[in-house]
Structure formats: structure tokens, C-alpha cells
């Protein structure tokens, strides 16, 4: 099938990150995809070659011409339209293809609104619901709500075929060493002498407490800080210092999505943020802390609680997540120390891997989207 996938980049690359993974996964399964995006600049480092048309099966298009009649006249009608995260297709685009389908007597594309990821109860209730289009050139058509999630009554999570097998191969010591060398980290990081911790975050209130804790650990700690806001946040506290006590810091370059996934596979603990990276941390099967995207109305608090309940985490890990996100009750803003003992990390990893095992039993999101589109054509 031919898919039109629409993405507006708001901030922090989460929108384009999820949209690109979706496009690449679809193309790898033999689907043809047009990605309409208003800012493709992040693809230069996230998926090199994508914006230049070097990714088989995916054609990246500028959002602006999606309203240009001359451009649209050269394009075939897609079988499926996907609006990611509530972005709205250009009215001229809708009008052009609504007229084309009426003129040819063909069916409307399967029109899907791909929503944000959540573990909250409304997701199961809303997944797959139909919404009629009441006005405009596509009046009489309908679109569907499609919700990613963590249960069989949702659209599940993005997961490429063969992902777990690929991750198992990277347990090889040489591949591990080659990976760290490639991203500019000294080869010794590939040994088991240090505890490796990745940091991908916004500006968490507990960051200073974390750095202080890692600097006095019994075991040497190597903190790998991702480019962008995480680097700025750490350097705002420590300046250019990269070594204090038991803590060594390396600042990483911008990583491709594949390299970011591999970073999570190779670290002992992963701090992740937003929607895309928490899914990748789950598949990595290592202890992780999620910095959920903060919202002014504190809607993220309920979202985090629902997620932790779905994960079936113990009290200490839940307490750490609330503290890391600045969500402890008033009067209880005590630093929640990272559980670093061998026993605590072992228990935490078992909980993550148990959650992963449950999720691996579900069909992945791309498979479900294809099945859903074929059913509703």
C-alpha cells in the first residue's frame, strides 16, 4: 500500500523521531511511504540520507507543498493517511484528493489519527473509534483514532522485526567495543570495570543529587550524556568538568536512531525522556528512569502513574520516578537515590524484562496499522 504520513515538529524531536521510525519500519516491510514534514532538519543526524531520498521505500516531502495543487496533481492517491499526534492535513490536500476520489469513483483513503502513547484507561476505550468528518471537502468521510499502548486492546508499540535478535548479537564484546569507538567513547568503556549510565533528559530537579551520588559510588561510574538539552543541563551544574570522585563523564555527539538504540543496549542504567526513547528503553530490557514530557496542567503526573502501574514496579523505583519528574508530594521532596546495589539493580532489571516479555506477546504497532488499514479499506 501507499501511505501518506504527516508530521509537524513541535519541539525536542519526539514527533519526527516517532514518525521516522514508523516510516522506516513500514518501508522495511515492503510498504511505500510519503513522509510530509514541516522541518526535516533532524533527519540529517537521526537518519542520514533520509531527506535526500536515499532510504528505500520512503520519500520525504516538504509539508508546504502539500497545499500546492500543481504538486498534488503529480501524485497518486495514497491508500492510507496518518496524522501523527493530532497534526491536521492541509485543507487543500484534503480537497484535492476528495475531488479525485469522487471523480474516479474510488474509496477514500483509510484516514488515521495516530495518538500519543499512554497507559491511561481511556486509551483502551478510544482505540479504533471512528470519527465522522462533518464539514469541508471531505464531508461524509471518516477518520479513525489509533492509540499506541501497552495492552492487547491498544495499538501496541513500535518494534521492528528482528529487533531482539539484533540486540542479542550486540552482546558480542567486539561489537560493543566497536560501537563505543564509533561514537567517540574510549574503548575501555566496553569493559565491565565501570557501571555505564546513559543520560537523555530535559532539566530534571534531581540532576544535581544524581551527579553527587554517582561521584561517591563504590563502583566507578561512566556517565554518557546525550547531545542537546542533557549536555546543557549537566554543564550548567558542572561546567566542563568530566571527572569527580568515582564519576567520569563523556558528552556524546548527536546519535542516529540506530546508535541511540545501541547505547541503551550497552548501558547498565538508562535515563530516557519523551515517548520514543521510553519504548526503546523497554526493548533494551535494562533498568531505566523515564523523564516524561512535562505539561503545565500536570497531566503528565497521571500519565506517569498509569505507566508505572503498567510496569508493575516496586515502591523504590516508583519513588525515584516521581522525584526525577518533580512529582513528589509537597513536603516530601527528599532526594530519591538511585538504587545501585547489585541486588537492587538485579530486581529492577527483572521487573523491566518481565514487562518487556508481556509486551513482546502483542503484535507490534506497524503490524497492527497494516492489518487495520486492510480491514477498513
Task: Catalogue the active-site residues.
Answer: 15, 275
The neighbouring-strand residues paired with 224 are 198, 250
| Pairing outcome for strands 243-244 and 247-251 | antiparallel
Which strands form 243-244's sheet, in the order they lie side by side?
A: 243-244, 247-251, 221-225, 195-199, 269-273, 288-291
Determine the longest span between alpha carbons in the chain, in angstroms: 73
3-state secondary structure of 95: helix
Q: Tell me the CA distances in angstroms from 304 to 188, 269, 335, one per residue in order.
A: 36, 19, 18
Classify 270 in phi/psi space as left (phi over 0), alpha (psi -120 to 50) or beta.
Answer: beta
Q: What is the DSSP letter of 330?
A: T
By CB atoms closer than 10 A (0-12, 13-18, 19+), residue 345 is: middle
Question: Quick check: 151 and 125 in contact, CB under 8 A?
Answer: no
Three-class secondary structure of residue 242 per DSSP: coil
Collect contacts of 176-183 with beta carbons under 8 A, ≥24 apart.
Answer: 176/266, 179/259, 179/262, 179/263, 179/266, 180/266, 182/259, 183/252, 183/253, 183/255, 183/259, 183/263
According to DSSP, the residues that pair with 33 across neighbouring strands are 3, 58
C-alpha cell belonging to residue 175: 561489537
Residue 187 burial class via C-beta count within 10 angstroms: exposed 0-12, middle 13-18, buried 19 and up: exposed
Amino acid at each position: 500500500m501507499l501511505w501518506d504520513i504527516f508530521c509537524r515538529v513541535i519541539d525536542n524531536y519526539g514527533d519526527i523521531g516517532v514518525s521516522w521510525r514508523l516510516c522506516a519500519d513500514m518501508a522495511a516491510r515492503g510498504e511505500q511511504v510519503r513522509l510530509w514534514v514541516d522541518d526535516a532538519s533532524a533527519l540529517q543526524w537521526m537518519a542520514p540520507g533520509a531527506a535526500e531520498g536515499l532510504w528505500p521505500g520512503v520519500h520525504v516531502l516538504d509539508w508546504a507543498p502539500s497545499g500546492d495543487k500543481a504538486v498534488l496533481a503529480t501524485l497518486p492517491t495514497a491508500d492510507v493517511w496518518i496524522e501523527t499526534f493530532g497534526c491536521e492535513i492541509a485543507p487543500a490536500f484534503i480537497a484535492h484528493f476528495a475531488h479525485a476520489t469522487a471523480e474516479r469513483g474510488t474509496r477514500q483513503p483509510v484516514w488515521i489519527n495516530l495518538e500519543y502513547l499512554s497507559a491511561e484507561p481511556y486509551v483502551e476505550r478510544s482505540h479504533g473509534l471512528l470519527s465522522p468528518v462533518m464539514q469541508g471537502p471531505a464531508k461524509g468521510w471518516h477518520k479513525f483514532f489509533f492509540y499506541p499502548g501497552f495492552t492487547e486492546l491498544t495499538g501496541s508499540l513500535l518494534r521492528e522485526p528482528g529487533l531482539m535478535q539484533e540486540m542479542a548479537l550486540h552482546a558480542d564484546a567486539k561489537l560493543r567495543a566497536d560501537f563505543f569507538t564509533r561514537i567517540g567513547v574510549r574503548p575501555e568503556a566496553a569493559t565491565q570495570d565501570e557501571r555505564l549510565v546513559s543520560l537523555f533528559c530535559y532539566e530534571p530537579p534531581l540532576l544535581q543529587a544524581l551527579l553527587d551520588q554517582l561521584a561517591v559510588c563504590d563502583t566507578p561510574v561512566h556517565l554518557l550524556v546525550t547531545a542537546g538539552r542533557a549536555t546543557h543541563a549537566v554543564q550548567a551544574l558542572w561546567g566542563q568538568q568530566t571527572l569527580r570522585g568515582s564519576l567520569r563523564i563523556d558528552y556524546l555527539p548527536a546519535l542516529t536512531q540506530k546508535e541511540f538504540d545501541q547505547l541503551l543496549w550497552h548501558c547498565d542504567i538508562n535515563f530516557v525522556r519523551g515517548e520514543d526513547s521510553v519504548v526503546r528503553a523497554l526493548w533494551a530490557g535494562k533498568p531505566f528512569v523515564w523523564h516524561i514530557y512535562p505539561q503545565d496542567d500536570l497531566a503528565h503526573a497521571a500519565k506517569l502513574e498509569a505507566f508505572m502501574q503498567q510496569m508493575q514496579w516496586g515502591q523504590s523505583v516508583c519513588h525515584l520516578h516521581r522525584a526525577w519528574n518533580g512529582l513528589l508530594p509537597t513536603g516530601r521532596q527528599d532526594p530519591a537515590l538511585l538504587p545501585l546495589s547489585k541486588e537492587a539493580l538485579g530486581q529492577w532489571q527483572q521487573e523491566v524484562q518481565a514487562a518487556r516479555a508481556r509486551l513482546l506477546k502483542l503484535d507490534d504497532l506497524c503490524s497492527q496499522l497494516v492489518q487495520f488499514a486492510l480491514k477498513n479499506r
